[in-house]
Amino acid sequence: MTAVNESERQEVEVLLPWHAAGTLNRRDTQRVEAALANDPELARRYALVREELGHTIHLNETLGAPSARVLEQLFAKIDAEPARRGSTSPGFGSRMSDFFATMSPRAMSFAAAAAAIVILLEAGFIASVLVKNPSVGTFETASTMGGAKAEGAYALIRFQPQASAADITTFLETNKLSFASGPIPGGLYKVKLAPAALPKDELAGLIKKLQDDKIIGFIAASE
Amino acid sequence: MQTTSDEVLIARIAQGDRLAMQVLFARHHVRVYRFLLRLVRSDATAEDLVSDVFLDVWRQANKFEGRSAVSTWMLSIARFKALSVFRRKPEEELDDEIAGAIEDQSDDPEITLAKKDKGAVLRHCLTSLSADHREIIDLVYYHEKSVEEVAGIVGIPEATVKTRMFYARKKLSELLKERGIDRGWP
């Protein structure tokens, strides 16, 4: 042994079984290969490791396989298990991840590039429309009553999903309210509470009172 | 042809997909069985444990975090099941079983014949190793587990994995030597 000292040989020797099985990381693989190339005694011992590897596989392969009863036994046990909350069909997220998992890296890179191009084209189109027509993009609902600030006290209200039209009508009549605008995103309506602005405390009290109504999901003062 | 990965199957099993369970079973049950059989040395016990291992997979699929390969995870479960059997069995019964398994059969005509075949003797010696040594040799050579994976399955530090494997091989050489085969190592 010339190029490899005894301590290095011992360190490498313990790695030989994993080298033979092909389960070493790249760095250790290179280390072992370099040592084997320079150390004939280590190479001889490596041949013994390979012999053990071959016979261990042979031995295990002659052990046979379990009988079909194991699968039957397993599913009988599974049947006896409490039902799962999840369904037997995979969800959308699971199907998507399966779909991407089955794509080859090349197909995946093509798909990603195509998606990026589509997004860029869309962004370009939207930008060009905005440049030509600057008013586009200013949100305005069909029922908005103009942009001028209106006089009065207002609140934004979201009704409970189960509230009927009759419930809402009754609620508005009872409290002498009227719709100012809406719906806006989020299912909100702007409701006129009073013809003139209310003092802060009075407005807060009114909001709290309205909030207690069972058909109200959300309410907040608005300008 | 691409096959569904074990990780995807586990995700489906977590959703209660029985077909995914069947696929995973078909893919791994033989190796799990052989790993168990080498530890417990009883066909019937190994078969019972295989279904227990896969039942645990069914129950715990939603907890699998993917920090190890699915096969490594299953071998960890299998090992735990085998140890549970050892803990349950009365000591005398276990001793008889082990003694039967590792009995020196040097006068057995079969072994006498086998001596002519170095490979057969080597395989006989592999079955005569202690449970710890059999286990580590199988994990490394047959189940193709890395140092890190073996450490995870057996629950010992990586350095101990390396030294245990070294001593298992050393013991194997000693057993071979006792049967007239000197490999010149260690």
- Arithmetic mean of pLDDT over chain B: 88
Using an 8 Å Cβ cutoff, are A197 and A130 in contact?
Answer: no
Categorize the per-residue pLDDT at B89 as very low, low, confident or very high, splitting at 50, 70 and 90.
Answer: low
Domain-by-domain residue ranges, chain A? 6-61, 95-140, 153-222
Task: Please name each of the domains of chain B with its CATH number.
Answer: 1-103 (1.10.1740.10), 104-180 (1.10.10.10)
User: Hey, is the C-beta of A105 within 8 angstroms of any chain B C-beta?
Assistant: no
pLDDT for the residue numbered B99: 47
- How high is the pLDDT of residue A122? 73
Measure the N-to-C terminal CA separation of chain B; round to a whole number of Å: 45
Q: What distances in angstroms separate CA A12 from CA A118, B80, B135, B151, one per listed residue?
A: 53, 31, 22, 19
Burial of A16 (0-12, 13-18, 19+ CB in 10 A): buried
Burial B75-109 (b: 16+ CB within 10 A, else e): bbbbbebbeebeeeeeeeeeeebeeeeeeeeeeee
Write the DSSP symbol of residue B150: H
Residues 55-84 of A with CB under 8 A from B: 55-60, 63, 65-67, 69-71, 73-75, 77-78, 81, 83-84
pLDDT band at B114 (very low <50, low <70, confident <90, very high): low
Q: Which residue in the set B21, B25, B172 is minimally distant from A52, CB to CB?
A: B172
> Does residue A96 register a pLDDT over 80?
no
**Model confidence pLDDT, tens digit, residues B4-47:** 899 999 999 999 999 999 999 999 999 999 999 999 999 999 99
Which residue has 């039967």 as its token pair? B100
For residue B121, what pLDDT is reported?
94
Give B185 or B2, the one with higher predicted confidence: B185
Distance from CA of B12 to the nearest CA of A (A): 6
Residue B119: pLDDT band by 50, 70, 90 thresholds? very high
**CA–CA–CA angle B42, B48, B52 (5° rounding):** 135
Residue A98 predicted with pLDDT over 70 = no
Helix (H) or strand (E) holding B122: helix B118-128
pLDDT band with cut points at 50, 70 and 90 for residue A128: low
Interchain pair B122, A63: CB under 8 A: no
Give the right CATH number for A153-222 from 3.40.50.2300, 1.10.240.10, 3.30.70.80, 1.10.940.10: 3.30.70.80
Which residue among A18, A59, A101 places its CB closest to the CB of B8?
A101
- The pair of structure tokens assigned to A170 is 């009754």
A96 near B CB under 8 A: no
The b/e string for A28-58 (b: 16+ C-beta within 10 A; e otherwise) is beebbeebbeebeebeebbebbbebbebbee
Identify the three-state secondary structure at position A192.
strand
Torsion of CA B60, B88, B164, A43, to 10 degrees: -80
Best residue in A6, A19, A53, A63 for a mutation probing chain B (most B CBs within 10 Å): A63
- Average pLDDT in the A125-151 region? 53
Distance CA B98, CA B58 (A): 32
Asked whether B17 and A111 are in contact (CB, 8 A), the reply is no
- B186: preceding bond cis by omega (within 30 degrees): yes
The residues near A59 (Cβ < 8 Å, ≥ 6 apart) are B123, B126, B127
Separation of alpha carbons B73 and B7, rounded Å: 11
Instruction: Output the pLDDT for position B85.
Output: 87
Do residues B30 and A52 lie in contact, with contact meaning Cβ atoms separated by under 8 Å?
no
A10 closest CA partner among A38, A47, A42, A34: A42
* Cβ distance of A58 and B123 shorter than 8 Å: yes
What is the three-class DSSP state of A153? strand
Nearest C-alpha neighbor of A15 from the set B185, B169, B135, B184: B169
Helix axes B18-40, B70-88, angle to 10 degrees: 50
AA letter at A97? S
Strands A188-194 and A153-159, by their bridges, are antiparallel
Q: Which residue has the higher pLDDT, B185 or A105?
A: B185
pLDDT, greater one: A169 or B1: A169
Tokens representing A123?
Answer: 């962004």
For range A51-78, the mean pLDDT: 95
CA B18 to chain centre: 26
Inter-chain residue contact A70 with B11, CB threshold 8 Å? no
Q: Which of A85-89, A141-145, A160-164, B59-63 has the highest mean pLDDT?
A: B59-63
Cβ atoms A218, A186 nearer than 8 A: no
What residue ranges in chain A does DSSP mark as E strands? 153-159, 178-184, 188-194, 216-222
